Structure 1
Amino acid sequence: MQDNFLAYAEDALDYGVMGVLILMSIVTLWLFIERMMFYNSIRLDDYKNRDHLEMDLTNNISIISAIGSNAPYVGLLGTVLGIMITFYAMGDAGAVDAKKIMIGLALALKATAMGLIVAMPAIVAYTIVLRKVEKILAAYDIVNEEKVD
């Protein structure tokens, strides 16, 4: 019974945390591609107001930032839960087996690594998108200044 619980807990940890992190990376990639396609198709002449342009340009980029900021925490949560499962298994066995401890800890740490692997590209994507927004807004300002002169 206890072995089934531990196996179920380890599987839930793997599929749950890793699934959430994979979903976060897919959403980041999708939003990044969507924003780049939007920026390439934007026509500055369609906007009479800079604020409307800025609202359209910054739509959904906060999600990319939130994923980049929170992915390491999701990975850390997986690591903490994995370490708790490892300690529970050690206590349940009543004996200290160094091999099982090391395997359990290594598997737990993969969640943190995965969280960092998701976070780093998300932050890079956010930075690229933010810079693109700044360039488009600067181009809009230049075009409108030329119209006034």
Structure 2
Amino acid sequence: MTTYSGGCQCGAVRFRVRGTLKDSSICHCRMCQKAFGAYYAPLVSVRGAELEWTRGEHKKFRSSNYVERGFCGDCGTPLTYEAPDGIAIAAGAFDDPSELPPVIQFGTEGRIAFVDHLHELPARQTEEDAEAAPFVLEIVSYQHPAHDTATWPEGERPWRH
């Protein structure tokens, strides 16, 4: 049985999923765009698998008469889409989202046309921006690492000074 883990960017909420995950998707509907603050929402259904919250609790917002959307109350990371037919986890919240490629798109009536052309845009690695933004060479991430930890945070959270 395959085990996946993940959580929010600050580490206050963590989860583990045991089982087969085969229903990864992208949703283009306007509600998902708003919930993720993005052009679309990448989601992974955990239907048929065992979902366990291993640290903290996610908060929920009822976005419609059928759907609640879970997020971290501390850092705001989108975490869940919870509907009568099951729960889906935000793909980017998994420690290794590359293991869960999307297999279908939903809500395509809301798809923004330029999304189909994002791969055609010029691309640069972070370091290539150093001349215009030298701070990128000195960034220290305060995000939770992409693996389970016994405790977190180590010390005080930076945004709570």
In the superposition, the TM-score normalised over structure 1's length comes to 0.19
In the superposition, the TM-score normalised over structure 2's length comes to 0.18
Q: Which has the larger radius of gyration?
A: 1
